[in-house]
Amino acid sequence: MGVPERTRGTRLGKAGKVAALAALVALTATGCSGEEILRFGWPESATVEAEKMRTFWTWAVIAALGVGAIVWGLIFWSAAFHRKKKHSTEALPRQFQYNVPLELFVVVLPVVMVCVLFFFTAVTEQSVLAEEEDPDVVVDVTGFQWNWEFSYPDYQTPDGQPVSTVGSSSEIPLLVVPANRVTQYNLESTDVIHSFWVPEFHFKRDVFPHPRKNNQDESFQTTIDKEGAFVGRCAELCGVYHAMMNFEVRALSPDKFDRYMELRTQNNPQTGEPYTAAEALATMQDEGCDAQLCSPVATTTSPFVTDRTARTASG
Ligand SMILES: [Cu+2]
């Protein structure tokens, strides 16, 4: 007997309509482009290394969706076609325990899946952490309570000191590097543990004081794949003003970077001192560099106001 033919038809039609509506809402309400869908929520990045991780992520999600589709299919199939029959006298459906081939299969298959995922994770990790023997630019990054210093051992000012940029409570330090070139960061702290984190690199690494312990790796390399400004932060709670330890990575085209370093290795005729980062960038702005790209002050973050005395309880 079962459900009368007409009622069943209406029910199926109703379920179909709800499913179609849900699909339509999913497609239109999320506002995702095709490229965004393939990113599967992975945020935009600024480096070649982060893009390698993104590729791995995309394939990992596709693999997970494949497994998901099989599992969902099996659940649906069991629920739809192996329901308890109305007039069945059996207490339980047919049982499958102690089926050795089946049990071997459900153990071996997940192990193989984990091995494949592990293999590609390790390959991607190796590739992201790989370092070239001869990077294009080396930056010595020094973290201290509570700011950053970036010095370039390969570039010297007229007084023989390495070109360096140091932040203060009124100035966010700018870490100027060339885009599309390999940059190496050597990390060191003068006091406690800090962490060098540029969210758009999708990478962070702790900054330890000397002497190093436990084979800490204090350097890494990136190739930034576009010009722009990217905020950097300390990601290791390092004391009272930890939250103020921000910096900005400014990636310039190699030509602009060369001009920047040309300036920074000279004395500024107006001050008689070597060009500071801000002075060099301001000069480049005068020479026609984009105002945003060559802004002498950080554009992604600003110094924190430390003065609390001027405030009142009402704000
Ligand atoms: Cu810190």
215 has a pLDDT exceeding 90 = no
Pairing of strands 137-144, 147-156: antiparallel
Distance 297 CA to ligand 1 centre (A): 21
Beta-carbon-side half-sphere exposure of residue 190 (alpha carbons within 13 Å): 10
Q: Which of 178, 301, 278 is nearest to 232 (CA)?
A: 301
Tell me the mean pLDDT in the region 9-30: 72
For 37-68, the pLDDT digits (tens) are 788 888 889 999 999 999 999 999 999 999 99
Asked whether 166 and 149 are in contact (CB, 8 A), the reply is: yes
For 142-169, the pLDDT digits (tens) are 999 999 999 999 999 999 999 999 999 8
Distance 312 CA to ligand 1 centre (A): 29
What is the greatest pairwise CA distance in the chain?
Answer: 99
Confidence of residue 3 (pLDDT cuts 50, 70, 90): very low
DSSP-assigned beta bridge partners for residue 310: none
Distance 255 CA to ligand 1 centre (A): 32
Token pair, residue 96, equals 């499958």
Q: What percent of the chain shows pLDDT beyond 70?
A: 90
Q: Is the C-alpha dihedral spanning 2, 7, 13, 16 positive or negative? A: negative
For 94-123, the pLDDT digits (tens) are 777 888 998 999 999 999 999 999 999 999
Q: What b/e readout covers 158-187, taking b as 16+ CB neighbours within 10 angstroms?
A: eeeeebbbebeeebbbbbbbbbebbbbbeb
Amino acid at site 247: F
Distance 292 CA to ligand 1 centre (A): 27
Task: Output 5-10 pairs: Cβ under 8 A, ≥24 positions apart.
Answer: none
Query: Which residue is listed with tokens 């201290």?
Result: 144
Distance 190 CA to ligand 1 centre (A): 11
Confidence of residue 228 (pLDDT cuts 50, 70, 90): very high
Distance 250 CA to ligand 1 centre (A): 20
Distance 241 CA to ligand 1 centre (A): 8
